[in-house]
Amino acid sequence: MRLIISCVALAFGLTACSEEAIETQSTLGKVTVENGETANDYNLAWEGDPTVTIEVSTNSEFSAGEGEVIGSFEGGSATWSAEGDPARRYFLLTTEDGASEKAAVRLLPLEGGRNFRDLGGYETEDGKTVQWGKVYRSGVMAGLTDGDYEYLGDLGITTVCDFRDEDERTSEPTDWRAGEVEYLTFAPPPAEQDGENSPIMAAYKNPDATPDDVRAAMAAGYPGIAKNEDEGYTAMFDQLAAGNIPLAFNCSAGKDRAGTAAALLLSALGVPRETVVYDYALSDDYVDYMAEFMGDEARAKAAEEGDRSPYAFLMKLPPEMVAPLMESNPIYIETTLDAMEAEHGSVVAYIQSEYEVTDEELATIRAALLD
């Protein structure tokens, strides 16, 4: 587990790094899909009151007429339950005048996953849509169960980019069992910033510091993640340009290094900034990070590890001073995007320069991931 090494790294000089409905914009308005009591139960909703015909398929690329028609519905909502083993399902809603929208549950219903979710469904500025089932972001995968791997095995993932460092992978190894993949790991360079003099550490050393001071320090240091993870992010774009999809990428918490990677990719695809920030902030809806990293189980582990634990210092702090490190606060990714734009004129220009993505590769990635 390495929230510290992705966020709190900024303080210690280490290497950087309510169930929410799915929201997409279309001619139907906002479409939402949520699981019900089980992974086979689905609640669908859409804005307005058009009558829609709903088709369902386990194939993310299915078109109208190729799925199973589950019925025509009005009133802005529908429920449906699948039979058999849980499997990832995609829904196509079509109105009587031919407007359509594909949607799915974003957060995968895994027993042992952390923030494992689909980046599909978001609209771009030019009216295209990020395809479902092509790119997934996640936190640590060490807790995935046999049932989880059976579920993931149907997704056809070919490539996994693990942004964690060697110590993290040794502490919480991924035993990938969902088919053969190219599993890529990286060796991020040591943080350039002196931990003792970092903004976060300065805030913690200040007896008058407030949680807002820590939050501001986090924002100030957050752009360093994109710099420190250049090897992993370059490889991710290389893999996508080579057509090695579906692809999944992960860090430990699934919010900092993975969150920055997701923001970069969505920006490269032409997704507007407000949507990029929305996706980044969703992590706080999906995971209670204070409970996971500062709760009783985490404290027991930190006590067992003693001074070897990267969390030893944090355990001594008041919870309100730790909370900013655990957030997916929009200001963190906003500051990162602002820094990229200031340096290169735009986020896309930053991506192309820092991660060596050519115009041709960018066009290839967009063609592969957008409808």
Asked if residue 5 lies in contact with residue 17, where contact means CB atoms within 8 angstroms, the answer is yes
Q: What is the mean pLDDT of the chain?
A: 88
pLDDT band (50, 70, 90) for residue 171: confident
Q: From CA 371, how far away is CA 360, in angstroms rounded?
A: 18
Question: What tokens does 14 get?
Answer: 């280490």
Per CATH, which fold does 21-105 belong to? Answer: Immunoglobulin-like (2.60.40)
DSSP string, 94-122: EETTS-EEEE--SB---SS-SS-EE-TTP
pLDDT band (50, 70, 90) for residue 7: very low
According to DSSP, residue 22 is labeled P
Domain parsing of the chain, residue ranges? 3-17+107-369, 21-105
Judge whether residue 60 has pLDDT over 50: yes
- Tokens 């919480």, located at residue: 172
Instruction: Write out the H or E segment, with its range, that includes residue 185.
Output: strand 182-185
> Per-residue pLDDT tens for 334-349?
999 999 999 999 999 9
What kind of architecture, by CATH, is found in domain 3-17+107-369?
Answer: Alpha-Beta Complex (3.90)
pLDDT band (50, 70, 90) for residue 123: very high
> Per-residue pLDDT tens for 182-217?
999 998 666 544 455 677 778 888 888 899 999 999
Supply the pLDDT for residue 202: 82
The sign of the dihedral angle between the CA atoms of 112, 118, 119, 123 is negative
For range 87-96, the mean pLDDT: 94
* Strand 247-250 to 135-138 pairing: parallel
- The percentage of the chain sitting over the pLDDT mark of 70, rounded to a whole number, equals 87
Closest CA to 58 of 19, 92, 93: 92
Count of C-beta atoms within a 10 Å radius of residue 19: 11
Three-state DSSP class for residue 179:
coil
Return the amino acid letter for 80: W
- Half-sphere exposure of residue 93: CA atoms within 13 angstroms, side-chain side: 28
Supply the pLDDT for residue 356: 97
> Per-residue pLDDT tens for 276-289?
999 999 999 999 99
pLDDT band (50, 70, 90) for residue 114: very high
